């Protein structure tokens, strides 16, 4: 009898899509029987229309609430703990998160750590960095209202943050972290700066590519109990459908949404594509581009991306992921050339007559086309890294087993060093 996996499990949040659905949040909370809500957002969004709409809806539906507006863009363990401490001092029985992935992930952590406080902050954090303890039981209702079209965090049971002491990202993963409901409102992305729309849109692209090309679920080891199946299980027939459709939507609408913010159709399709990719990668997982991105984000020295109103150095998550992607997909293509060519086709490439041995080059060239068109920095060197940083980047990638072990082609220290070297200059 084989000890390889025999099954995969699909889990995702409920999703409601439509222009103006943000105004329904108060009614949803009333239907949940909410006595007091916690609204989570960031300082910039606090004065914007999406948050104003949420507050108005809560007032109209007589939902008492407290508001936390100190979310850090690209959160770290300190910012997570600040939000958790605030929530403990202001007990609530439901949470509303309004913002990008940073806000949604912070709200997930708040929900977990206030419902089942651990002995140590790292108890729930993914191994080998933390203990990876299972979430003991159900969490409070969480309504996620994304204001970017990128992370898909409204569909997933994952919360990502920078762990300051290792200068790299890690996270917490459990199906129980999934928001109860995601409200996808295209009106909330209307004022997204073009550079932010580009970075978050490229995150969608990489989510879908990575989940579609991840190690097949059947090649993982079978757990002892069904409850021990990880949130990231490997590529599977259902995630594949969502990932491929997300890639098709990116091909048609990403450039339009970035270059013309008044293109309502493109923006609506990109917020949908983000959730489509979220359903895909939230169950299949991501692999090397994300694993390699975590130390890039954590080790940033002085680079600050345009369009982000932050006081700290910042390589946006979408940039840190996509800068590694061309090198990675050239490397992984030999594991399944047909699947890499199918991904390129979904992104708009005519692959008729293409040779299987060219799959990596073809897919990476298509990624590079998007990067150049959307004016992404030209490689890791453009955001402040040099060859001398590569050993530390590799060191920060190696512990990311949650994602790196899903790579369709294994990558140890030597391979990662070469990939980072290739990623220093993109074109």
DSSP string, 50-105: HHHHHHHHHHHTT--EEEE--PPSS-BHHHHHHHHHHHHHS--SEEEEEESHHHHH
Q: How many CA atoms lie within 13 A of 58 on its CB side?
A: 21
For 368-408, the pLDDT digits (tens) are: 999 999 999 999 999 999 999 999 999 999 999 989 999 99
Q: How far apart are CA 254 and CA 316, in angstroms?
A: 17
Q: What is the pLDDT of residue 310?
A: 85
User: Among 124, 85, 79, 130, which residue's Cα sits nearest to residue 102?
Assistant: 79
DSSP 95: E
- Ordered by where they begin, the domains of the chain are 20-184 (3.40.50.1970), 194-423 (1.20.1090.10)
Q: How far apart are CA 319 and CA 305, in angstroms?
A: 9
CA 358 to chain centre: 29
Q: Are 156 and 178 in contact (CB under 8 A)?
A: yes
Q: How far apart are CA 414 and CA 155, in angstroms?
A: 35
Q: What is the pLDDT of residue 2?
A: 65
All residue ranges of the chain with pLDDT < 70 are 1-2
Q: What is the pLDDT of residue 128?
A: 86
State phi, psi for 216 to the nearest 5 degrees: -60, 145
Q: Are 109 and 84 in contact (CB under 8 A)?
A: yes
User: Among 105, 77, 226, 232, which residue's Cα sits nearest to residue 177?
Assistant: 105
Q: What is the pLDDT of residue 334?
A: 98
């Amino acid at each position: 009898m084989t000890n390889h996996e025999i099954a995969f499990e699909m889990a995702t949040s409920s999703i409601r899509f439509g222009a103006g659905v943000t105004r329904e949040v108060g009614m949803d909370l009333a239907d949940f029987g909410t006595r007091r809500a916690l609204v989570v957002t960031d300082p910039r969004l606090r004065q914007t229309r999406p948050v104003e709409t949420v507050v108005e809806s809560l007032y109209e539906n007589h939902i008492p609430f407290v508001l936390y507006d100190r979310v850090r863009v690209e959160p770290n363990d300190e910012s997570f703990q600040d939000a958790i401490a605030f929530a403990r001092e202001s007990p609530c029985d439901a949470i509303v998160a309004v913002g990008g992935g940073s806000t949604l992930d912070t709200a997930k952590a708040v929900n977990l750590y206030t419902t089942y406080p651990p002995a140590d902050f790292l108890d729930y954090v993914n191994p080998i960095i933390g203990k990876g303890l299972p979430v003991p039981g159900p969490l409070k209702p969480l309504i996620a209202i994304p204001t970017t079209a990128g992370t898909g965090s409204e569909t997933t049971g994952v919360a990502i943050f920078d762990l300051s002491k290792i200068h790299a990202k890690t996270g917490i993963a459990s199906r129980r972290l999934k928001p109860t409901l995601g409200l996808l409102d295209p009106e909330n992305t209307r004022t997204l700066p073009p550079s932010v729309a580009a970075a978050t849109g490229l995150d969608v692209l990489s989510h879908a590519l990575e989940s579609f090309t991840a190690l097949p679920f059947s090649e993982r080891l079978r757990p002892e109990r069904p409850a021990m199946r990880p949130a990231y299980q490997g590529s599977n027939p259902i995630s594949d459908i969502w990932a491929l459709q997300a890639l098709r939507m990116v091909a048609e609408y990403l450039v339009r949404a970035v270059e013309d913010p008044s293109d309502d159709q493109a923006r609506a399709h990109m917020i949908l594509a983000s959730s489509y990719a979220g359903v895909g990668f939230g169950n299949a997982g991501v692999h090397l581009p994300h694993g390699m991105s975590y130390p890039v984000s954590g080790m940033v020295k002085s680079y600050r991306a345009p369009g982000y109103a932050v006081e700290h150095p910042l390589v946006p998550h979408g940039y840190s992921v996509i800068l590694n992607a061309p090198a990675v997909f050239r490397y992984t293509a030999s594991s399944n050339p047909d699947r890499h060519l199918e991904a390129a086709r979904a992104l708009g490439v005519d692959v008729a007559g293409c040779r299987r041995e060219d799959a990596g080059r073809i897919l990476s060239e298509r990624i590079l086309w998007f990067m150049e068109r959307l004016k992404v920095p030209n490689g890791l060197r453009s955001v402040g890294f040099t060859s001398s940083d590569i050993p530390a980047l590799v060191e920060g990638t190696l512990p990311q087993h949650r994602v790196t072990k899903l790579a369709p082609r294994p990558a140890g220290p030597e391979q990662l060093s070469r990939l980072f070297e290739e990623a220093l200059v993109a074109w």
